[in-house]
Structure 1
Amino acid sequence: MREDYRSQRSGVFKPTSFSPEQWLDSLTPVAAWRLVVFSSICIAGLDWLFQASSIHNGGPLYMLPICIACWRFDFKTGMSVAVAEITLSAVILLGVSGHLDGSAMIGLVVQLIKFGCAAGIVSRFRQSFDRERLLARRDWMTGILNRQEFQRQAEAMLAPAKTRNQPLLLAYFDLDGFKAVNDRFGHQAGDRLLQCFAEEGKSLIGLEDCFGRMGGDEFAMLIKLSKTECAPEVAERLHVGFTAALESTGHSVTCSMGAVVAVPGDSASLHELMRHADQLMYAVKRDTKAGFSLAGSAPPFDVESLLSPTHQVCSAV
């Protein structure tokens, strides 16, 4: 059962299929504005061609640019687009009928209210969507990335790293003696210990790195190595930092760590890197505990400036 769980958690992350919201979010602000303006002009052109006698005929179509603006930007932007469209509709009415009577003005006001309601609904939905998406990407207990989101971000980090001079260090952690804390002091004590470990991890990484909980008491970290950093030194710094954080909890819990280095041009996938780091971590856990093992992504590995010797096993300080 343990092996089945390890295979599941280290499986290749498969991105979801295309969706409209992902496409809209991928647009730059300039591209999004172009879409709003272009769609508004097209809808106004259709309204003019069909010579609508009132805004009612073109009203539903005019909501599309408003919804796009609210989703991609905010409520105020959406309302600005709505006011611009009402003005454009009034111009079309003047061009078609030659005048704006009282009923037409009332219709324009009613239509603006409808646009405002639609803009409010889309904006509130976007806020709820962002909140739920954030929660879906985070581990509920520690607040760091969950397994799926870690894999997604790690894949994104690995792709450009293979085409530029940017080595990466992938580390996998398992807490030694964690079950005893739960058994003796209860799950609340275990939860606090995991939260302490996660807080330390967040303090050890940069903004472009990622750190996540893989499940239970196991964590993973992917960080960028600068040209001046040596992989063994970074690995030791990580292990020392986590060890100190665990000691501060007052429990006899240590961490075993396996780490691999991925260099530019390396063809190893995230699945292969995580599997290798996982194997190194369990080798430490089986042999010595409270230590770390560091190696290249796929032996033989020869990057002397990053890792010397090729495979290194250390005990905790």
Structure 2
Amino acid sequence: MLRIHELIDYRPTKVTKYLLVAVIIALVFLVGYIHEITGAKIEMHSFYMIPVVIATWYIGLFAGVLVVVISSLDWLGVEAMKNTHGMLTWEMLVSESIRVTILLMLVFVLTKLRLALKRESELARRDVLTKLANRRAFFEAANIELARAKRYGYPLTAIMIDLDNFKLVNDEQGHEVGDVLLSYVANILNSNIRSSDFAGRLGGDEFVILLPETGEDSAEVIAKKLQNELLAGMKLHQWPVTFSIGVATFVLSPKDVGEMLKCADRLMYEVKQGGKNQVKCATIQGNSLLPKKETNQEI
């Protein structure tokens, strides 16, 4: 089922956009042709709204205005052909200018509406505190990457990060400081991942990063870099926080996102049980988990 946010966020690719433009122009001339063969029996002008709405919603403001202009010229051409003398009268021009104004108003209203809906959709899928993707948005993005990994057969890695001693900060320095710390962690994560990677906050002090097309060796390098940057930030602010990190790489795509996160979470939990402040990596091949040695950093 098509979700509302997918309808709002959808932007056609370059090829799809050209096809959409062709369909829109064809619709304009189809309406004009029907207008011509039906004469004055049917009021066809309202049907021009269909290509105008499609162009505005899926391509943008400029496309919507352009379709309004094309629609108007098409309409005037048909009206001129219907006239006995093949000429346009002042009444036709005034009437058409009113219709164009209405269509342009529709274009601008649709543009504003789409922007407002997109803003609301983004807010609903962002963690309020850290501005990272929330659990819902992360699962949506991860499902897309999982489908692509299954199709093309590339590896997929999930990194689970849990903050050690975060409760101590909340208890001793207050929740406001704790919130600042979480936002700071989120900024470090966002600043040190690739554009193709996707970071999210699952809740509390638990963060997750999805690494598409990334094997275990590359994932380990990324995880260690993140740990070093995070520890340096904690030392700078004198926060007694370290990081337990589980890195699960899938050579064969997992059954679903839940299974992927469960494996990464298990590795992270093993780090917690083994002394915290470590990175533990493993490659999952089918039902087999092949762990690598943990690495740790001291503040």
TM-score bracket for the superposition, by shorter chain length: 0.7 to 0.9
What is the deviation of 1:181?
1.7
Give CA deviations for 1:199-226 in whole Å, capped at 9, x if unaligned.
Answer: 1101221111101111111100011455
1:47-91 per-position Cα deviation (integer Å, ceiling 9, x unaligned): 1221137xx912211111111111122223211211111111111
Of 249, 255, 258 in structure 2, the residue corresponding to residue 271 of structure 1 is: 258
Residue in 2 that maps onto 1:292: 279
Task: Give how far 1:228 is off.
Answer: 10
Runs ≥4 in structure 1, deviation > 4 angstroms? 15-20, 225-231
Distance 1:94 1:241 in 2: 71
Partner of residue 78, structure 1: 64
Structure 1 residues 233 and 282: alpha-carbon distance in aligned structure 2, compared to 1, 3 A threshold: same
Distance change in 2, residues 1:156/1:287 (3 Å): same
The amino acid across from 1:219 in the alignment is F
- Note the C-alpha offset of 1:132: 1.8
Q: Which letter does structure 2 place at the counterpart of 1:282?
A: Y
**What residue in structure 2 maps to residue 30 of structure 1?**
18
Distance, in Å, in 2 between the alignment partners of 1:67 and 1:107 is 21
Deviation at 1:186, TM superposition (A): 2.1
Count of residue pairs brought into register by the alignment: 293
2-side partners of 1:19 and 1:180: how far apart? 39
Q: State the distance in 2 between where 1:193 and 1:178 align.
A: 9
In the TM superposition, 1:162-311 aligns within 5 A as 162-164=150-152, 166-224=154-212, 229-263=217-251, 265-297=252-284, 299-301=287-289, 310-311=291-292
Shift of 1:166: 3.1
Contact kept? 1:193, 1:249, Cα under 8 Å = no
Instruction: Tell me the alpha carbon deviations over residues 217-264 of structure 1, each in whole angstroms, 9 at most, x when there is no partner.
Output: 11000114557944433332232222222322321111111110112x
Question: Does structure 2 conserve the Cα–Cα contact (< 8 Å) formed by 1:170 and 1:220?
Answer: yes
Q: Which of 168-177 and 130-139 deviates more?
A: 130-139
> Which amino acid is 1:114 matched to?
I
Change (3 A) 1:261 1:226: closer
Residue 61 to residue 73, structure 1, CA distance change in 2 (3 Å): same
Q: Distance in 1 between matches of 2:83 and 2:218?
A: 76
| Distance change (3 Å), C-alpha of 1:277 and 1:69 | same
| 2:80 matched residue in structure 1 | 94
Partner-residue secondary structure (3-state), 1:312? coil
Distance of aligned partners of 1:224 and 1:77 in 2 relative to their CA distance in 1, 3 Å threshold: closer
CA RMSD of aligned residues (A): 2.6
Q: Point out where structure 2 has 5 or more consecutive residues left out of the alignment.
A: none
Check if 1:58 corresponds to 2:44.
yes
TM-score with structure 1 setting the length? 0.83
Show CA shifts across 1:158-181 (max 9, x none). 222234463232111111121222
1:150 aligns with 2:138: yes
State the SS of the aligned residue for 1:25.
Answer: coil
For residues 16 and 169 of structure 1, the distance between their equivalents in structure 2, rounded to whole angstroms, comes to 27
Gaps of 5+ in 1: 1-14, 303-309
Question: Structure 1 counterpart of 2:99, which letter?
Answer: Q
Q: 1:315 aligns with which of 275, 296, 299?
A: 296
- Identify if the C-alpha distance between structure 1 residues 131 and 230 changes in structure 2 by more than 3 Å, giving closer, same or farther: closer
How many Å separate the matches in 2 of 1:203 and 1:101?
Answer: 63
Instruction: For 2:196 and 2:108, locate their aligned partners in 1 and report how far apart those are by CA, in whole Å.
Output: 34
- SS in structure 2 of the partner of residue 172 of structure 1: strand
Change (3 A) 1:23 1:223: closer
What is the CA deviation profile of residues 81-136 of structure 1, one whole-angstrom value per residue up to 9, with x for unaligned ones? 11111111111111223342222221111111111111110111112122222222
Secondary structure in 1 matching 2:246: strand
Provide the secondary structure at the position in 1 that maps to 2:282: strand
* Separation in structure 2 between the aligned mates of residue 149 and residue 84 of structure 1, nearest angstrom: 39
* Structure 2: distance between partners of 1:124 and 1:23: 14
3-state DSSP of counterpart to 1:162? helix
Amino acid in structure 2 at the alignment position of 1:254: T
1:40 alignment partner in structure 2: 28
TM-score normalised according to structure 2 size: 0.88
Identity of aligned residues (%): 26
Shift of residue 312 of structure 1?
2.7
How many angstroms apart in 2 are the aligned matches of 1:23 and 1:316? 41
- How far is the alpha carbon of 1:198 from its aligned partner? 0.7
SS of the residue 1:76 aligns to: helix
Question: Which amino acid counterpart does residue 316 of structure 1 have in structure 2?
Answer: Q
